[in-house]
Structures are given as C-alpha cells and as structure tokens.
Amino acid sequence: MPRRVFVVAAGSSRFGERWEAGQAELAKEAWQDAGFRGKIDSLFVSSMASGAFTEQEHLGPLVLSAIGSGSVPSVRLEAACASGGAAVRQAFLSVRSGEHDVVAVVGLEKMTDVPPDEASRILSQASLAEDEARTGATFPALYALMARRHMHEFGTTEEQLAAVSAKNHSNACLNDKAHFRRTVSVDDVMRSPPVSDPLKVLDCSPVSDGAAAIIIAEEGVARGLSENPAEILACEQASGPLGLCARTTICGIPAAASAAKLALEKSGAKLSGIDLAEVHDCFTIAEIMALEDVGFFPRGGAAKATERGETALSGSVPVNPSGGLKAKGHPVGATGVSQFAECFLQLSGRAGKRQVKGARTALTHNVGGSGATAVIGILSGEVGRK
C-alpha cells in the first residue's frame, strides 16, 4: 500500500539580490529557517542552471554539507523553472513508495552574479533553442505572444494584467522574505517601461537569488516530528511540447491542465474546497492562464475575477499570498519548493499577517519554461491541526 506523506517543516532564505551569500549560504539559511533538527534519509536539490550562473555544478553534496546532514544520498534535479516542483515530486514518491522515511528538498538559484543580458540568455535555454532562443525570442517575448493571443480571444486587457501585479505586490508587503516589499498600483504597472508588448517591467518577475527547503516524512514518523504536519495528497507532473510553435493553443498551458486533472483525481480534492493557491506567475499573464488551466475560472474568466478582487488575500480564491514569483521573487530552482513551503505555513496557521483564515487545503502550480513541464501539488492541513 502506498504510504501517506506529510510536510513536517519548511523554511526559506530571504529572496532578492543577495550579493553577500553564495549557494551554500542560501541553502543553509533556508534550512535553519525550517528549524528541523532530525535526521534525513535522502536529499533532493533543485536548480535550473547553477553551472551557467555560478560555474558550480554537483550541488547535491554541496548543499548536503551546508545543511550538515552527513553522507546520505543527495542529487540535483533540473526541469527549468519547474525544477523545485519536480524535486518535491521525486521526494514525495520516494517516501510514498517506502524507500525512505524522511526526505529533504532544497531548491536554490543564485542568479544575480551575471549581467542581466547574460541571465536572460541563460534562462532562454529552457525554451526551444533552434526555433526560439537562437532567433532572439526571450521569455518575455514568448509570454507576450501568449498575452496577445489571450487578449484577442477573450478580451483580456492590460489593466487586468496590471491588477495581478498590484495584488501580488500587496501580498508581498506581508512577507519578510520577499524580494519586493512595496505596493504598486495598476497605474504604476501601466506606466512602467515596456519589455515586450503588452508586458511591461512590472508585469515581469525579477531575477532573484534565494533558497527554500521542506522536509517530508511518512505518516508514523511525521506525527513525532510536527504538531501540525500538512499532508501531500497528490503531486503530479505532466509535459508538453518545448516550443510554442508546436502547440495547438497558446492561451493556456496544456501540461498544467493535464497535471491538475491528475492531481485532483488522485487526491480526491475538489476545486471548490481549495482554500488558497500558489501559482507560477513569472509574468502576469501566466497567473491568469494558470487559474484557467487548473479550472478555478473558465477560459477568459480569470482576468475579470482578478479585477473584481476574487483572487485577493480576502477573496474567494486567494492566489499567491506569498507575493508570488512577481513580488516574492523567482530564484528559479527555489520557486517550486518555496510554493510548498508557503502552503505548509498557511495550512499550519503560521503565515502571520498574510494568513488565509481557516485554510485547510492548498494547491501549488509550478511551470518550466513556457509550459513544457508542469507540476501540481495538493496539500491538506486537516490532520494534526489544533
């Protein structure tokens, strides 16, 4: 029988331009923030491009030494910006199968040690090199194509995109680990410089440094490690074509829709019972598409719902209470792990001023590249809550 799997601890470094810290220091900061003092059986590390950003590969043992966890198996996983979600899924499967009892996942990326143009070039390697990256199509350009098509088909407006940014910046002001802790208005977003029409600077997530950590355990062990563990009901991954040119639609991400359908089926959860979601808002249009791919809103409905405040912290479906990638920051290898960490804090009632009242069930949505990889997690805090 597959075993039940629980998150028992989670932590994060501060996200931002961390000139003073290397990868090992960021990992240690996240680990210490998690406050876990037990032993682990294995470590999964997620990072998209550590070699390109820092000239350091072989992160498994590097991070293992930084967190002081002996000589257990340690390995790095890569799935572009979905590296974190993919690493959590492998850890989940290793515990669920009975191979290990307690497993750690540490996601990290150190991105600001290279010039911005070089960072953009490195990130573009997660797109289709021959048909996209080598022709100069950066990720802002690819998501701008998605935005324009979404506007054409559903009437989505630039102001509605800006509402996503304003909402997530507001949430990030309540998160002391966030890269950007300042409010922006819809007008601020609209007036910010263009990057790739219709996307502007404040429609785009920043280049960030940071790390996040979670520790998961099987049910019997979990109850002895945490008073308020959060069960991972499902963690599903799906894939799609690497390039936009090979897809039948660019108004959404089919891999995310497929992974969400599987996760909901395997967890037995209903979307109507999801109390909050952490979704991959690398660009404002990405959050809108995520909400439609998962099924929270019909196609063309998420932008209007955002404008009405339905995805705000006090709305019917709070989305990205952490501030999301847009304002919390997007150290790409850390992002998926950070989503699970935020959901654990919310479900254990420890999210402070950004706490979603009565949160019992949460969803994570992590995407790689322009959507060729997607990982959906569903967590429940019902068991162990006081």
Catalytic residue among 169, 179, 330, 365: 330
Catalytic residue among 81, 235, 282, 343: 81
Asked if 350 and 264 touch (Cβ cutoff 8 Å), the reply is no
For residue 166, the Cα-to-chain-centroid distance in whole angstroms is 19
Catalytic site includes residue 169:
no
Burial class of 315 by CB neighbour count within 10 A (0 to 12, 13 to 18, 19+)? middle
Catalytic site includes residue 81:
yes
Task: List the one residue out of 287, 30, 53, 36 whose CA is nearest residue 177.
Answer: 30
The residues that bridge with 366 in the sheet, in sequence order, are 375
Asked if 329 and 15 touch (Cβ cutoff 8 Å), the reply is yes
Rounded Cα distance, 224 and 101, in Å: 12
Asked if 32 and 122 touch (Cβ cutoff 8 Å), the reply is no
27 contacts: CB under 8 Å, gap ≥ 6? 13, 45, 62, 63, 66, 67, 106, 108, 211, 213
Which positions are annotated as active-site residues?
Answer: 81, 330
